[in-house]
Structure 1
Amino acid sequence: MTSPDLITTPVEERFLRGALEVERTARGVLPHRLPARARAQCPDGQLAMAEAQPSGVRLVFRTRATTVELDALRTKMAYRGAPPRPDGVYDLHVDGRLTGRAGVSDGNVLLVDMATGSAETLPGPVGTVRFAGLPDGVKDIEIWLPHNEVTELVALRTDAPVEPSPDRGRRVWLHHGSSISHGSDAASPSTTWPALAAARGGVELVNLGLSGSALLDPFTARALRDTPADLISVKIGINLVNHDVMRLRAFVPAVHGFLDTVREGHPDTPLLVVSPILCPIHEDTPGPSAPDFSELGEGRLRFRAAGDPAERAAGKLTLKVVREELARIVSRRAADDPNLHHLDGLGLYGEADFAELPLPDALHPAPATHHLIADRFADRAFAEGGPFAARREP
């Protein structure tokens, strides 16, 4: 229950990190992970939902408060005929440590009919997430917003004044990828693999992992180009295959064009190109991916490859082809770009890992696998000798 004596502070952009743009709404603010110009260039429902799901976005402030309340209007996805999906999670970090988790039970529901592709929004009320019993004294608070629910922030209430947390001078890591980077099937927003890797690397994360939407779109490249960053990574491949959007002839110049655009704004920034992790259904079989509804009534949705392996001869993409071409592209470009690097996704999750930690729906990693990928990425990227290693002062 809301306490009447709490101080209300407007939710403003200065308290938000990880968003590229903040839209002011009739109720409050809506964080976006793509700017308005990019959103206007692609009126696609999947992209609109993905970029408005605030993966990596957190509310950050300094306070002595021991009670924090946040009013939010969520939009949660549900599948017609399937059991309800778990509620989104808010992770509370106090002085860098995860100290609490909570959720919002009210809000809108986007009801999707997987058989027809239709969707309707069932409206609901604003809900409240509450954290109480926090330690006394001045502290830095981070509330990581649900990575898998569109979240409109309405009001922040505390039992002591708040102010923006000071800049700690940490490097900014800008990452782009697919639903795996977005955080699909992770346990919570601060335990997606990019969030975990950022914590290991001691960097500030800006996560442009866009579920179903890592398609080498020029507007995404321009968003990366125009976003301040000290480190950049792009994970390319799985969405190109499972959407069956292009052939090999288009893929190679599209990758070059994407990287060219990023380099326009970040000519010397360490740039890491990451190829796909293992996904057995698409290693040798082209897309598209097709849903398997046989277990939907039990709350399980799986995927299968609907392409024909024989179509590889006509230039259809598979993950093995994508990995080979990305390695070639980076090798050629690195001759003139010493800050461009390549990371084979099989080093993050490969055949032996699949045997121990299979992909539950045949596409997305389970929570434990997010931890595995994060640790391996940090070991390869942030450790001494890696492309993102901190430079030592002379």
Structure 2
Amino acid sequence: MSPETRWTTTPITAGLLRGALETERTEHGLLPHRLPAWARAQCDDGQLAMAESQPSGVRLAFRTRATAVELDTLPTKRQYVGAPPRPDGLYDLVVDGRPAGQGTVPAGHVLVIDMMAGTSERRPGRPGTLRFTDLPEGAKDIEIWLPHNETTELVALRTDAPVEPAGTPDRRVWVHHGSSISHGSDAAGPTGIWPAVAARAGGVELVNLGLGGSALLDPFVARVLRDTPADLISIKIGINLVNTDLMRLRAFGPAVHGFLDTVREGHPRTPLIVVSPVLCPMHEDTPGPSAPDFRGLEQGVLRFVPMGDPSEVAGGKLTLRVIREELARIVAQRGADDPHLHYLDGRELYGEGDVSELPLPDQLHPDAATHRLMGERFAAAAFGEGAFGEGGGAG
């Protein structure tokens, strides 16, 4: 990059973003949110606040002739006491629909989390700069996918040629809600999370409402789905209800019905897929809650263990097997009056045949290779001749 480069600074506004439902002006810049303020106000859970502010599926999108791009951001990184340092969050560059590079911003705030003590401490930091150079000549569409696992304030965008918004894409919009697995867990980068892999294969525009630890059938999330423009909707339900031990079977069925009723108020004929949990051996027949294995944490390895007892299922505690049976029953029951409602067994995305080759590293979350596999399998099941095929209709 020449020292004589003449930079054009473009104000970062909501018009340059895709995948965010709302933005907030902060002291430093623009903070994308995946839940609107009214929804955030209805729950003061710190886990949800952290998850929805991490911009999984959110990307800057613009058209330019620039061959060099600089983006100043202020990320918030996580550090777990006793665990190995987490890698910096990745930014994925996509040019004209093709991967074109990755980068990181090492600077930023740090949230130090002590899982054994149940406490956290925020250590303030400074913004840093992401650079992409030697881009192709000529006009092109650029996307910069933000780290799926780092809250990211957008401070400044500089290019060596003017920028204009990319415009509204001529693609169907897919809105997906799920847990940390849908959020991205241990994916290789923001375009490697399984919903992004599936969206790319299906040729659709992704709005990802995968919220780590927070897919809990919250009524305000159902209202967000109801009010968000969508041509396709999927809801992945199960693992968080088990690993938080949030409810019993008596409450689960009506909660699912109520969630779907609310979504249908805004999208009565939109193709909607209910996805049950992927295989998670430790919770197939053992209820939650899940807890960190602190013995492993002391050795620098983070794993989870189930704290429930299989005998408690008789009293109404939920396991993944129980949830799959109940979801299949509910979708079949509602399907008589709702031909656009579909069920997908999550074990078609990751099941018994995958465990030996692709085990869950921490007993709970899939690795990068499994994310790719799940995305490819969802695309094969949902698009083409599936419920999300071109004949599936619009919202």
Q: Report TM bin, short chain.
A: over 0.9
Q: Indicate if the aligned counterparts of 1:383 and 1:389 stay in contact, CA closer than 8 A.
A: yes
Aligned residues: 392
TM-score calculated relative to the size of structure 1: 0.98
Q: Say which is worse superposed, 307-316 or 297-306, in terms of deviation.
A: 297-306
Deviation at 1:169, TM superposition (A): 1.2
Counterpart AA for 1:387: A
Residue 297 (structure 1) shift: 4.4
> Matched residues in 2 for 1:213 and 1:35: separation?
15
Aligned to 1:356: 357
Question: Helix, strand or coil for the counterpart of 1:355?
Answer: coil
SS at match of 2:373: helix
CA change 1:324–1:134 in 2 (3 A) is: same
Provide the C-alpha distance between the structure 2 equivalents of 1:273 and 1:192, rounded to a whole number of angstroms.
Answer: 19
Please say if 1:145 is aligned against 2:146: yes
**Offset, 1:50:** 0.1
Secondary structure (helix, strand or coil) at the match of 1:273 reads strand
What is the Cα deviation at residue 166 of structure 1?
Answer: 2.6
Q: 2 CA distance for matches of 1:355 and 1:11?
A: 46
Could you tell me how far apart the structure 2 residues matched to 1:391 and 1:308 are? 46
The reply to whether residue 265 of structure 1 matches residue 246 of structure 2 is: no
1:102-161 C-alpha deviation (Å, 9 max, x unpaired):
000000000000101100101111011000000010000000000000000000000000
Report SS of the residue matched to 2:390. coil
User: What corresponds to 1:174 in structure 2?
Assistant: 175
Instruction: Give 1:212's aligned residue.
Output: 213
How many Å separate the matches in 2 of 1:72 and 1:318? 41
Give the aligned partner of residue 94 of structure 1: 95
Mapped pair 1:45 → 2:53: no
- The aligned residue for residue 65 of structure 1 is 66
Equivalent position of 1:337 in the other structure: 338
Task: Give the gaps of 5 or more residues in structure 2.
Answer: none
Any conservation in 1 of the 2:271–2:392 contact (CA below 8 Å)? no
Instruction: Give, as a single letter, the amino acid of the residue that structure 2 aligns with 1:131.
Output: F
Written as runs of structure 1 = structure 2, the 5 A alignment for 1:382-393 is 382-384=383-385, 386-391=386-391
Matched residue of 1:356: which SS? coil
The within-5 A match list for 1:223-234 is 223-234=224-235
Could you tell me the percent identity over the aligned residues?
71
DSSP-derived class of the 1:294 partner: helix
Q: Does 1:114 align with 2:99?
A: no
Amino acid paired to 1:180: I
2:53 alignment partner AA: A
TM-score, structure 2 as length reference: 0.97
User: What is the CA distance between 1:2 and its match in structure 2?
Assistant: 10
Amino acid at match of 2:334: R
Q: Which runs of 5+ in 1 are unaligned?
A: none
Aligned to 2:291, what secondary structure does the other structure show?
strand
Ranges of 4+ aligned residues in structure 1 off by more than 3 Å: 1-4
* Residues 266-305 of structure 1 aligned to structure 2 (within 5 Å): 266-305=267-306
Which amino acid in structure 1 is aligned with residue 60 of structure 2?
Answer: L
CA-CA distance at 1:391 after TM superposition? 2.5
Name the amino acid aligned to 1:390: E
- Give how far 1:300 is off: 2.0
Counterpart amino acid of residue 309 in structure 1:
P
Does the 8 A contact of 1:24 with 1:30 survive in 2? yes
The 2-side partners of 1:188 and 1:392 are apart by 30
Q: CA RMSD in A?
A: 1.3
